[in-house]
């Protein structure tokens, strides 16, 4: 686990792909337990360590995540997410070449909890949530596109669904129609900008994927 930023109320780390954020049915060690063990050892804390989960990444997705070390931090970071104040930028490699080098996507998504999958639905569908993102194509090579994505909303599987709907599924995402098989899903949380829970100072945390490893090496 790589720590990118830490203060009294927050800790930002790099989540490696295929590590669950929280405990799941696999029984694999999760990121929250790894961070709690780190904090317990670093600060010699007795008993249970508090760690607030304020946002999520899918298990196959890697990149920057921020957690709260205090209840005050959890409350204020969660409010930043609800209000859209926390800025999130992702990288993805998608199959095919996009028609436009930059653009926006706005759809309504409905989550199927039984299938752990979301789909695009008409605006008046019960339970549907508005999903918005902006994107910019950084590179095209080998029938693939490297895309930087500014996530305006944070819906379940949003990036994966919206690019699949456009005919450009995320590389390695068989659940949403990707054809080419690779070792990991080509989706990465690249940058987070948030405001410190105390002092309201803006902080930007950034980490890039390993461009020498698959799937990123296929377009580097």
Q: Residue 116 in 3-state DSSP? A: coil
CA dihedral for 220, 144, 150, 183, sign (positive or negative): negative
Phi and psi of 2, rounded to 5°?
Answer: -100, 120
The residue to which tokens 């298990």 are assigned: 59
Q: How far apart are CA 209 and CA 187, in angstroms?
A: 9
Is residue 39 within a helix (H) or strand (E), and if so which, with residue range? Answer: helix 31-43
Annotation marks residue 208 as catalytic: no
Written as tens digits, the pLDDT of the chain (220 aa) is: 899 999 999 999 999 999 999 988 888 899 999 999 999 999 999 889 999 999 999 999 999 999 999 999 999 999 999 999 999 999 999 999 999 999 999 999 999 999 999 999 999 999 999 999 999 999 999 999 999 999 999 999 999 999 999 999 999 999 999 999 998 999 999 999 999 999 999 999 999 999 999 999 999 8
Q: Which domains, and CATH codes, for the chain?
A: 2-218 (3.30.2350.10)
Other Cβ atoms closer than 10 A to 128: 19
Q: Are strands 10-15 and 62-68 parallel, antiparallel or unpaired?
A: antiparallel
Q: Is residue 17 within 8 Å of residue 184, measured between CB atoms?
A: yes
How far is CA 47 from each of CA 5, 22, 37, 193, rounded to the nearest angstrom? 24, 19, 11, 32
CA–CA gap between residue 14 and residue 2 (Å, rounded): 5
H or E, element range at 136 = strand 129-141
Diameter of the chain by CA atoms? Answer: 56
Beta strand pairing status for 87-95 and 102-112? unpaired
From the candidates 58, 87, 112, 208, which is the catalytic residue? 58
């Amino acid at each position: 686990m790589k720590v990118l930023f830490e203060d009294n109320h927050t800790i930002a780390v790099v989540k490696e792909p295929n590590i669950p954020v929280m405990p799941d049915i696999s029984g694999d060690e999760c990121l929250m337990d790894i961070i709690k063990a780190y904090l317990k050892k670093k600060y010699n804390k007795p008993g249970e360590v508090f760690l607030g989960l304020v946002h999520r990444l899918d298990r196959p997705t890697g990149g920057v995540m921020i957690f709260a070390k205090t209840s005050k931090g959890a409350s204020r970071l969660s409010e930043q997410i609800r209000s859209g104040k926390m800025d999130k930028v992702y990288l993805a490699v998608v199959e095919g070449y996009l028609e436009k080098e930059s653009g926006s996507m706005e759809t309504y998504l409905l989550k199927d909890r039984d299938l752990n999958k979301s789909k695009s639905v008409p605006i008046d569908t019960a339970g549907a949530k508005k999903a918005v993102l902006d994107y910019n194509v950084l590179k095209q090579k080998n029938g693939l596109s490297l895309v930087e994505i500014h996530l305006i909303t944070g819906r379940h599987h949003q990036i994966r669904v919206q690019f699949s709907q456009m005919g450009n599924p995320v590389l390695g995402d068989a659940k949403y129609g990707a054809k080419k098989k690779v070792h990991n899903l080509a989706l990465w949380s690249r940058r987070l900008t948030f405001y410190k829970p105390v002092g309201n100072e803006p902080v930007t945390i950034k980490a890039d994927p390993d461009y020498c490893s698959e799937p990123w090496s296929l377009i580097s």
